Amino acid sequence: MSTLPNTTLIIILGLQFGSSTAIAQTTVPIPGFPPTLSEAGIIRYLNLTDSETAFVHQSVDAYNQVAGAKQQRVAQLRGEIANEDQQDPPDPMALGVRYAEIQTIRHDLANQQTALRTKLRASLDDLQRGKLDALSDARNLQPIVGDAQCANLIDQGISPSVCGYDTVLHQIVWVSSALLRYLSLSNDQAGAVSGLNNDNQQQTALNQEKISQLQGQILLENNKVTLDPLALGTLYSEIETTQRAIKSDQVTLRSNARAILSDLQRITLKSLDDARQLQLLIIGCDLRKLVGSSSWLVVRQVNIDSPTVWFLRG
């Protein structure tokens, strides 16, 4: 069985993530990624033949060559804009023409990527397209998957979960309104889940503070003329024990949070956990232009009038 190149992948960041900034090109090495993100994992998932694999490779290659040329033009335009900005005063027409060309390139690339995705899907059979549709459905659930991870109702994924923070009430939003609707949670259930997370956050903070103090004691021990192996070993052992306690508390928290849900809600929650487990395949197929953008990994749509802001939770 042939394989697609497994050394680099081209991500058109400005296109993939809908950025208002210049389109950028990033080369991402992937040899160390899990098998489900590799070419072989996608070939197995879609059961691609050698000819189908070659067709995907050639089609994406052709797109990347066109995109690369357009990215070079964007870089050139950005340089010209920077030069024009130095003029006193800047020429509005000169700036407008260049910004308009950048926007035209962005639209053109988006249209070409849509056409490429349609072309690749057409090369697959019904069963393979059904598997891609399953990935697309799972991809659409990823924002709520992140909300469920923030609430500690499901395991963490491949990236840190993103939790909201209410700047009016000055508290973390453990249960988002979207998750509340998706699981049909009552206010009492949401409050109970939030309470468990608040308690866990406080305990984790205490444990982290303890670890910091132990690390400070280790530093003092290391500065002594004569090192005491027993003292050092005891401190390191206590750090390991505390870290295990943090992990154990997370497992207990997740179990207790799920126990708050009804049987039907736990079934619905399982659909989110199933979607979480497909994250690597979604990214892999996204990078090969087989499904839509996985922008849920990088950005979150935020209402600027909302008091909620977002932060990463590791």
83-96 pLDDT per residue, tens: 999 999 999 999 99
Q: How far apart (Å, rounded) are the C-alpha atoms in residues 282 and 275?
A: 9
Name the pLDDT band for 26 (thresholds 50, 70, 90). Answer: very low
Over residues 100-125, the mean pLDDT reads 92
**DSSP of 31-96:** TTS-GGGSHHHHHHHHT--HHHHHHHHHHHHHHHHHHHHHHHHHHHHHHHHHHHHTSSS--HHHHH
> Pick from 269, 301, 272: which is nearest to 185 by CA?
269
Q: What is the pLDDT of residue 292?
A: 65
Q: What is the pLDDT of residue 293?
A: 58
Q: How far apart (Å, rounded) are the C-alpha atoms in residues 292 and 282?
A: 9
Residue 200 has pLDDT above 50, yes or no: yes
Among the residue ranges 25-29, 174-178, 253-257, the one predicted with the least confidence is: 25-29
89 cis-preceded (ω within 30 degrees of 0): yes
Name the pLDDT band for 312 (thresholds 50, 70, 90). Answer: very low
Tell which wins on pLDDT, 8 or 3: 3
The rounded radius of gyration (Å) of the Cα atoms in the chain is: 25
Do the beta carbons of residue 117 and residue 267 sit within 8 Å?
no
Q: What is the CATH number that goes with domain 160-277+304-313?
A: 1.20.120
**DSSP of 120-164:** HHHTS-HHHHHHHHHHHHHHHTHHHHHHHHHTTSS---SS-EEEE
Quote the tokens at residue 237: 């052992």
Residue 121 has pLDDT above 70, yes or no: yes
Quote the tokens at residue 268: 């619905």
Q: What is the pLDDT of residue 286?
A: 77
Among the residue ranges 77-91, 224-238, 270-284, the one predicted with the least confidence is: 270-284
Place of tokens 């690390």: 215
Residue 299 has pLDDT above 60, yes or no: no
Q: How far apart (Å, rounded) are the C-alpha atoms in residues 207 and 244?
A: 10
Quote the tokens at residue 86: 């130095």
Name the pLDDT band for 38 (thresholds 50, 70, 90). Answer: low
User: What's the mean pLDDT when you consider all of the chain?
Assistant: 80
Q: List C-alpha distances in Å: 194 to 4, 141, 163, 203, 295.
A: 45, 22, 12, 14, 27
53-69 pLDDT per residue, tens: 889 888 988 998 999 99
pTM: 0.67
Count CB atoms within 10 A of the CB of residue 288. Answer: 19
Domain ranges of the chain: 8-124, 160-277+304-313
Number of alpha carbons in the 13 Å side-chain half-sphere of residue 128: 19
pLDDT more than 90, % of the chain: 54
Among the residue ranges 37-41, 133-137, 274-278, the one predicted with the least confidence is: 37-41
Q: How far apart (Å, rounded) are the C-alpha atoms in residues 5 and 21?
A: 29
Q: Measure the CA angle with vertex 170, ends 165 and 171; round to 5°.
A: 55
Do the beta carbons of residue 141 and residue 275 sit within 8 Å?
yes
Q: What is the pLDDT of residue 160?
A: 65
Q: Long-range CB contacts (< 8 A, 24+ apart) of 254-263?
A: 254/152, 254/153, 254/154, 254/155, 256/196, 257/151, 257/152, 257/153, 257/193, 257/196, 257/197, 258/153, 260/189, 260/192, 260/193, 260/196, 261/153, 261/183, 261/185, 261/189
Q: Measure the CA angle with vertex 136, ends 135 and 142; round to 5°.
A: 90
